Structure 1
Amino acid sequence: MAEVTTIQVSDVLAAYVAGGNAPGALALVSRGDEVTVRIEGSADVEGTSPLRRDTIFRIGAMTVPIVAAAALMLAEEDRLGLDDPVDLWLPELATREVLRSWTAEIDDTVPAKSPVTLRHLLTNTWGFGLFFGAGDAPLRRAANELRVLNGPPIPEHSDSPDEWLRRLGELPLVHQPGEGWMYSVGADVLGILLSRASGQALEVFLQERVFDPLGMVDTGFAVPAEKLDRVPPAYSRDPRGGELDVYDPGSWGSEWRERPAYPSAAGGLVSTADDLLAFGRLLRSGGRANDEWLLTRRSVAAMTTDQLPPAARANARFFPGFFEDHGWGFGLAVTPSGRFGWDGGLGTSFWVDPASDTIGILLTQRSGMLVQTELYRDFWAVLDA
């Protein structure tokens, strides 16, 4: 990567840190076989712990593309069909009812026109998710009471996957399968589907099919004791005073020090810059890694191409304006230029640009979506220059 670009990347990170947005930030940029890492700031607000290339980050929703890739592996083996009902594996979701409108009472429903499929889960169009802009709708209140709307994951504070899905199955869908787009919840359903269809715990399945073949040695739902010193604190911003508060203390105090009761496919993984680079290279190469085809080119092409039908795009509920210049493939966002990837709500971002053979990874530990924020825009503006 040209020296001027590396300097500019450092400037972008430094400005973000100097603005008090996070104690430190790491960027990894890969172009072809050339990899550059830039680090600004430190791992904690006190400035006592260094941020390093092998720092283990909570990657939040960047978990979703990894799980989606694993789902496509099962689809290639005909163990799951993209357009087959998931009822066999997820009977809790059989015979769905759908609200007549967003604001309807939860018993004011009509039958679902079609069953939920793997395709629906991969594209966030299965009928339920986080209630962006829904106000105090009756279904939102009911979902909160049943504790099915997962926020940033706290591994020790969760029910079993089966119990969570049982409660979710008590609620109607917000829209007909395939006719709307709602974020996050479908990814957790997808994780349960993979576990049941594979006959393995989700973390075991991902380890065998994704992490081990790619050499992702620091990725998982928990951090072993010998690596806890590489887990930095995670922060959130106090909405009253604006200062950074500790969300998770990191190291030996981290909630990620033990296996969670519920490994969240929507946001539970930890990883490192180099592990994420390995996953990015898998997708950039069309599914090949270490002389082995983990996915077919056809599956990767489908995963990284906009899959949203017009009705789903028209009825999408997310950040205003997002779908004006983004589409959604299988487990990740795509742009008209062909760039694809996703961001994590705990301060992480991962995108691949096939046109320039570039993989860009941004890592902090400060909660708040990076989508369309100044840091994200400035980072890619430098890489696109």
Structure 2
Amino acid sequence: MFDHDPTDPHEVGLNADRLAAMPAYFKENYIDTGKLPCMGLLVSRGGEIAHESYTGSTEMGGKEAISTETIFRIYSMTKPITTLAIMMLLEECKIRLDHPVSRYIPEYKNAMVWDGGTAAAPKLRKPDREMTVLDLVTHTSGLTYGFLMQDETDEIYRREKVGHPKDTLQDMARQIGQLPLAFSPGTEWRYSHSIDVLGALVEIISGQPLDEFFRERIFGPLGMDDTDFWVPPEKIHRLMACYQKDAKTGETTLADPGGAASKLYAKRPNLLNAGGGLASTIRDYHRFALMLLRGGTLDGARLISPKTWEFMRQNHLPDGQTMRGMGRSAFTEVMADGVGFGLGGSVVQDIVQTRQPGSNGTFSWGGLASTFFWIDPEEELIAIQATQLMPSSTYPMRMQYQQLVYAAIDW
């Protein structure tokens, strides 16, 4: 859904020439050099879209150009949407952030913490306290991801095949509850399956499959007609290809084809990945971000209250810590220096420590295939970036995009 053409950048205090130069930068440095297939960019200020551009093609070296219609795998940009669903249930008094997770999933009642040994023969101890819903929302739960390759706990996740496509979301959540925690809840920050478990809570509390809840309560009201866990037959031709670069060999290969040949998105999955399963368009995701910027409402649809959005974009890490200061994990979808974690995304606490222009209070997150968004309430600014290359840490595109956008502010 798109109501009008982009506005004159000058009318919202942005420099038209500098915005117009952004696509050329990514074309010259990434697309023409064969590093990326494409780049989609959108910048809005005060709710008015001032720049929208689509450069490159739907596959490496292809002839079909990307456009407003192109559907991208947004991976972990699913996480803010799942968190919003929990906050909607919180507003209805159906859940509290201080509730123990075991209140909804009994397997978490007796969760134990890894305390040495090996993955095959771990030593375990009791946690300092039970895991809460807030721990899930803030990635301080003690859960992990198997792909982190960091210690024995994520090795156990790999061995137990956490996230197997045959499982349901609730199957996976129950399985995770029986595996060792990497640390006692609330003591560290680590990127993890926490939001997947959060999605299982949405299903348990609402009595609906997660995709149904999303369509009925979020996507429908916001007009996000092209966002879901799969792409239906009449739209599947709009799904572009996704690539991955091997860190050791430097070779870039096809990870998942576009269109009906996609192995992951051509049919509804059994596992509704609440932490990274959605596909969407740039325009759809802008409507989600704009709803948040406007305090939880868009075009007459009120999803959450302004106070709930204000609460979400505070730093909820203990004692005002940052992700860098609190975490052993080297992986995050944003920079960790000077950045805390809110509910559903990161929050800039000290712009100086980020080493680039911006604003304190900026809320952001990204996805594995190099998608990214941020909301800067101080500047009333939203920016979205999308291509399809894994992992997202391959190139410094996010930082470069932020530098280009903030350089375009005139007043």
With the length of structure 1 as denominator, give the TM-score of the two structures. Answer: 0.91
For residues 310-342 of structure 1, what are the alpha-carbon distances to aligned partners after superposition, in whole Å with 9 as ceiling and x for unaligned? 478544133379432211111111112111110
Q: Which residue does the alignment assign to 1:316?
A: 327
Q: In the alignment, which residue of structure 2 is the partner of 1:190?
A: 198
CA change 1:130–1:40 in 2 (3 A) is same
2:406 corresponds to 1:381? no
Offset at residue 217 of structure 1 (A): 0.4
Match of 2:366, as an amino acid? D
Does 2:313 correspond to 1:304? yes
Residues 288-328 of structure 1, C-alpha deviations (whole Å, 9 max, x = no match): 12223211112111211211114785441333794322111
Question: Separation in 2 of the partners of 1:55 and 1:38?
Answer: 12
Per-residue deviation at 1:263? 0.6
Unaligned runs of 5+ in 2: 1-8, 10-14, 350-359
From 125, 136, 147, the counterpart of 2:161:
147
CA distance in 1, matches of 2:347, 2:37: 30
Counterpart of 1:153? Answer: none
How many correspondences in the alignment?
A: 377
Helix, strand or coil: the match of 2:157?
Answer: helix
Distance in 2 (CA, whole Å) between partners of 1:142 and 1:320 is: 18
Higher relative contact order structure (alpha carbons within 8 Å, sequence separation ≥ 6): 1
- Percent identity over paired residues: 32
The question of whether the paired residues in 2 share the 8 Å contact of 1:129 and 1:183 is answered with yes
SS in 2 for 1:71: helix
CA contact (8 A) 1:180 1:312 kept: no
Aligned counterpart in structure 2 of residue 216 of structure 1, from 221, 224, 230: 224
Deviates more, 1:196-205 or 1:328-337: 328-337
2:111 and 2:178 in contact (8 A); partners too: no
Q: Which amino acid aligns with 2:157?
A: A
Does the CA contact (< 8 Å) of 2:222 and 2:301 recur in 1? Answer: no
Q: 2: CA distance between counterparts of 1:306 and 1:126?
A: 16
Note the C-alpha offset of 1:159: 1.9
Deviation at 1:131, TM superposition (A): 6.4
User: Which residue of the partner structure matches residue 189 of structure 2?
Assistant: 181
C-alpha contact 1:346 1:368 (8 A) present in aligned 2? yes
SS at match of 2:205: helix
CA RMSD of aligned residues (A): 2.3
Per-residue deviation, 1:12: 2.7
1:343, 1:370 within 8 Å by CA — same for their partners in 2? no
Alignment of structure 1 residues 197-346 onto 2, 5 Å: 197-239=205-247, 241-254=249-262, 255-310=264-319, 313=323, 314-319=325-330, 322-336=335-349, 337-346=360-369
Cα distance, 1:208–1:70 mapped onto 2, change above 3 Å: same
Measured at CA, do residues 268 and 101 of structure 1 come closer, stay the same or move farther in structure 2, by a change above 3 Å? Answer: same
Distance 1:144 1:131, change over 3 A: closer
**CA distance in 2 between partners of 1:369 and 1:80 (Å):** 33
2:22 corresponds to: 9
Separation of aligned partners in 1, 2:85 and 2:173: 20
Deviation at 1:112, TM superposition (A): 2.1
Q: CA deviation at 1:357?
A: 1.3
Q: Give the corresponding residue for 2:12.
A: none
Shift of 1:199: 0.4
1:114 pairs with one of 117, 129, 141: 129
What letter is aligned with 1:67? T
When the two structures are superposed, what TM-score results if normalisation uses the length of structure 2?
0.86
